[in-house]
Amino acid sequence: MGNDSSTLLIGIVGPCGSGKSTLLAGLEKHGYRCRHIAQEHSYVKQMWQIITKPNILIFLECSFENCTQRRKLNWLISDYEEQQRRLRHAREHADLIIDTNIHNPDEVLDNALKFLEKRK
């Protein structure tokens, strides 16, 4: 691709509590430029493209139960389902989808780093 970690812009999306901030911090420690994209709060389905214009989009999957437990959220399943609806476009266009239900934060970071290394 010709991009190195300092010029590549990585967007990270997912529902509240999926681990976006944790992954962003880990990737930045490895020299990657990242943006946490609050797509789950936007009614504009392609906001992630318009505002951030990432070279690579990483989508973090997380269940209602895990999101709720991780962030101690006081929300309803309908709130989660609305976030999923708002995230659908980004998920469909994601370069990498990582299921944070089955991977701990170190494994999520490792999966992302391995994927990014192949993209260089």
Q: Which residue has the higher pLDDT, 6 or 81?
A: 81
In which domain, by residue range, is 25 found? 9-119
Asked if residue 115 belongs to a domain, the reply is yes
**pLDDT at res. 2:** 47
Asked if residue 16 belongs to a domain, the reply is yes
Closest C-alpha among 65, 69, 89 to residue 77: 65
Whether pLDDT at 4 is above 80: no
CATH of the domain at 107: 3.40.50.300
Asked if residue 57 belongs to a domain, the reply is yes
Strand partners, 10: 34, 56
What is the tens place of the pLDDT at every residue in 5-47?
A: 668 999 999 999 999 999 999 999 999 999 988 777 676 777 7
Asked if residue 2 belongs to a domain, the reply is no
Q: Quote the CA–CA distance of 93 and 71 in Å, as a whole number.
A: 26
**pLDDT at res. 74:** 85
Domain count, the chain: 1
Asked if residue 4 belongs to a domain, the reply is no
